[in-house]
Amino acid sequence: MLEDLLNSLPNYRLNHVLHTPSPTSAIAFGHSGHLFAASDDGSLRVYDLSSFKVCRAIKGLPTEISSVTCFKRPGSELRDVWLACGNKAYSFQMDSEKLVQSTADATAVIELCTEEDVLNELALNPGKTHLAFSTDSGNVGVVDLSSKTVARMKTGHSSICGIVRFIPDRPREIVSGGYDSCLLHFDFIQGTVLSRREIPQFPIAEGMSLSPPFVMSAAITTTGIMAAGTADGRLWLGFGGEKNSQTKSDKKKRTRKWDGLDPDDEHLEKAAEGPLVAMQQYSRAFSDPLNLTVCTLLGSITQYRIIRQDNRELQLVKIWEGEAGVDKVNALIIDDKRIVVAGLDKNAKGVIEIWNREALP
């Protein structure tokens, strides 16, 4: 397996740089040809990646857009969006005849927290029936989009909650991460905590970092593996919820509780000198080794392949690294063709770097 890995190492080259008047706060792919980029000034731009020109936009939202979630609506080529802005979530249909929309054009507006609180992240489940959210006050919640009913979890984080994810193949379960260094696993129908994991600090003897292990970024694979990046530059991997295969003989095993936060089946190691503020995984198929791409606050991008042998021994192999020209990174996304990193430059303006994957010789 390692020989095959060495023969197929990826390589990315910087292809294009986009600039915006205000720092870029969140990004998302529409389909493979569109990039959605949100800014601190309450604007959203949709770029055509074949020309790098803006083809749609939203302006005039009341404050920073902290999260962008795209979804496909039948009959529309352009993806619709949910945007987190202040204490509200806004939905827009981007195939509108208006090339530039405003707050008045939103098809739905849902207040998800008090005016004293701020939304951080939105996540849409695969069925597009529920929208999860996290807030500065540490609250975690889920909206039933059919009824617009908002359910808040009975237990939250004791500090900022920046991360929320739906767990694949678990229709009523989510996981969140916060600045209290905790990962929380919920049954969102009951609103109860099913499991939790506090990321341990470095032993004092190691003297590796003065930063607490705030959870700054996270990803969950389709196979149930969870990854989290911390403010002290460590990468935490949880394998307790991993699915082995999709054969009929595994059906009973797949219906058990997700144990992705099990401390007896985890891996934790120093991966960077700075905070790991963004990450995303891309896997071509269930059986492929996992590629996990992470980025630090100052723009160091690293792609790993996570390999577990039959004896469950873990190999975390660095397969590519690069340096983005972004002074402060806010977001990273990846697909099979490119890596996109966004944030702000030294002049506090928005910057988006698009790195294309080169074809193997």
Sequential DSSP letters for 144-183: ETTTTEEEE-SS--SS-EEEEEEPTT-TTEEEEEETTSEE
pLDDT over threshold 50, residue 286? no
Mean pLDDT of 88-113: 97
The verdict on residue 357 lying in a domain is no
Mean pLDDT of 99-122: 97
pLDDT over threshold 80, residue 253? no
The count of domains in the chain is 1
The verdict on residue 212 lying in a domain is yes
pLDDT over threshold 50, residue 249? no
β-partners of residue 328 are 344
pLDDT tens digits, residue range 339-353? 999 999 999 999 999
3-state secondary structure of 301: strand
CA–CA gap between residue 298 and residue 269 (Å, rounded): 19
The verdict on residue 353 lying in a domain is no
pLDDT over threshold 60, residue 143? yes
Q: Which of 49-63, 78-92, 122-136, 192-206 has the lowest mean pLDDT?
A: 192-206
pLDDT of residue 244: 67
pLDDT over threshold 60, residue 117? yes
- Return the higher-pLDDT residue of 203 and 183: 183
The verdict on residue 342 lying in a domain is no
pLDDT over threshold 60, residue 126? yes
pLDDT tens digits, residue range 291-330? 899 999 999 999 999 887 766 678 888 999 999 999 999 9
Tell me the average pLDDT of the chain.
90
Mean pLDDT of 65-76: 94
Buried b (16+ CB within 10 A) or exposed e, 111-129: ebbeeeebbbbbbbbeeee
Mean pLDDT of 122-131: 96
Is the CB of residue 226 less than 8 Å from the CB of residue 220?
yes
- Return the higher-pLDDT residue of 7 and 223: 223
pLDDT of residue 312: 65
Q: Which of 2-6, 66-70, 245-249, 333-337 has the highest average model confidence (pLDDT)? A: 66-70
pLDDT of residue 64: 98
Say which CATH number the domain at 202 has. 2.130.10.10
Residue with tokens 């990315």: 12
The verdict on residue 272 lying in a domain is yes
pLDDT over threshold 50, residue 252? no
pLDDT over threshold 80, residue 4? no
Domain of residue 170, residue span:
34-244+253-327
Mean pLDDT of 22-35: 94
pLDDT band at 28 (very low <50, low <70, confident <90, very high): very high
Q: Which of 65-74, 78-87, 176-185, 201-210 has the lowest mean pLDDT?
A: 201-210
CA–CA gap between residue 194 and residue 155 (Å, rounded): 11
Mean pLDDT of 44-61: 97
pLDDT band at 32 (very low <50, low <70, confident <90, very high): confident
CA–CA gap between residue 281 and residue 290 (Å, rounded): 7
The verdict on residue 106 lying in a domain is yes
The verdict on residue 352 lying in a domain is no
Backbone angles phi, psi at 263, to 5 degrees: -65, -15
Mean pLDDT of 27-49: 95
Query: What contacts 101, CB < 8 A, 6 or more positions away?
Result: 56, 57, 58, 59, 92
pLDDT over threshold 50, residue 248? no
pLDDT over threshold 80, residue 357? yes
The verdict on residue 96 lying in a domain is yes
Mean pLDDT of 56-70: 97
Q: pTM score, two decimals?
A: 0.92
pLDDT of residue 201: 84
